Amino acid sequence: MASQKSSPDLINRSPKQKRGRARVAVLTEAAAKVFLERGYEAATMTEIAAEAKSSIGSLYQFFPTKMLLAEALHLERLRQLNAALVDLRAKVDGKRAAEIGDAIFARLGAFLEEHREFPVLAARRDIPKERKVQSRAELRGNITALLRKAVPSIGDDVDLLAALVLELLRIIITAAHDPDIGGDPRMVAELREMLHKRLEEATT
C-alpha cells in the first residue's frame, strides 16, 4: 500500500497558525499595557502598535478596530479568571462556606494584581450586551460550583449567595478603576468580612 503523503497546505498551516497566535498574544499584551497606562478611551491603535513593535497595518490586519482588540483581550482575561476559579475547586473540598468565600476573594486579588488592566477592560462602555450576560453567567456558575462544595452545605441559598459573591467581586473590580478609591484595600477587607459573616450565617 502506498504511503499517504501530507498535503503541503496541511504541512504549512500549523506553523503559520502558531505564528499567528504568537503575534496576537504580542499585540494583546501591548494593548494591555497601553490601556493600563492611558485608559481605554485615550489609548490609540498607533500607540499599541508602537508598544508591540509592530506596523499599524499589521495590527489592523488582526484587529480592525480598538474595540475588537479590547474585546479579544477582555475575553482572554475572563478565560483566565474562570480557569483560576475552576482550579480552586480541588483546593476547597471540605472547607466551610466562609473559607471558600475568603479563597475566592484571595484568588480575585491575585488575578487583579497580575492583570492590572482588567478593571479598565471591565469599565468599557462598548462591551456587547449579550457577551456581558454570558460572561456573568459563566462566572456565577463557577462561583456556585465552589459554594456547593461547602461543608456543611449551604442548601437552597447557594444560588442567591453565588449572585451576592459575584456582585461583591464586581464592586471590587469597579472600585479598582475609580481614581477616588484606587482599589483601597480597606474597602476590599470590609467587603470580604461582610461576605465571611454572611456565609457563616448560611451554614449555622
pLDDT digits (tens, 9 = 90+) for 126-150: 999 999 999 999 999 999 999 999 9
Q: Which of helix, strand or coil describes residue 44? A: coil
Q: Hey, what amino acid is at 79?
A: R
Amino acid 2: pLDDT: 43
Q: Which of helix, strand or coil describes residue 165? A: helix
Grid cell digits, residue 145: 460550583
Smallest Cα–Cα separation from 84: which of 115, 118, 108? 108
The chain-wide mean pLDDT, for the chain, equals: 90
pLDDT at 168 over 60: yes
* Percent of the chain scoring above 70 in pLDDT: 91
Burial of 104 (0-12, 13-18, 19+ CB in 10 A): buried
Smallest Cα–Cα separation from 120: which of 7, 53, 204, 41? 41
Amino acid 19: pLDDT: 80
2 or 172: which leads in pLDDT = 172
pLDDT digits (tens, 9 = 90+) for 71-124: 999 999 999 999 999 999 999 999 999 999 999 999 999 999 999 999 999 999
Dist CA 169 CA 157 (whole Å)? 18
pTM: 0.87
Amino acid 181: pLDDT: 66
Grid cell digits, residue 3: 504511503
Identify the residue whose cell numbers are 471558600. 100
Dist CA 134 CA 168 (whole Å)? 18
Task: Grade residue 184 by pLDDT with cuts at 50, 70 and 90.
Answer: confident
Smallest Cα–Cα separation from 169: which of 79, 95, 85, 69? 85
Dist CA 131 CA 139 (whole Å)? 12
Q: What is the DSSP letter of 124?
A: -
pLDDT digits (tens, 9 = 90+) for 4-38: 444 444 344 445 687 888 999 999 999 999 999 99
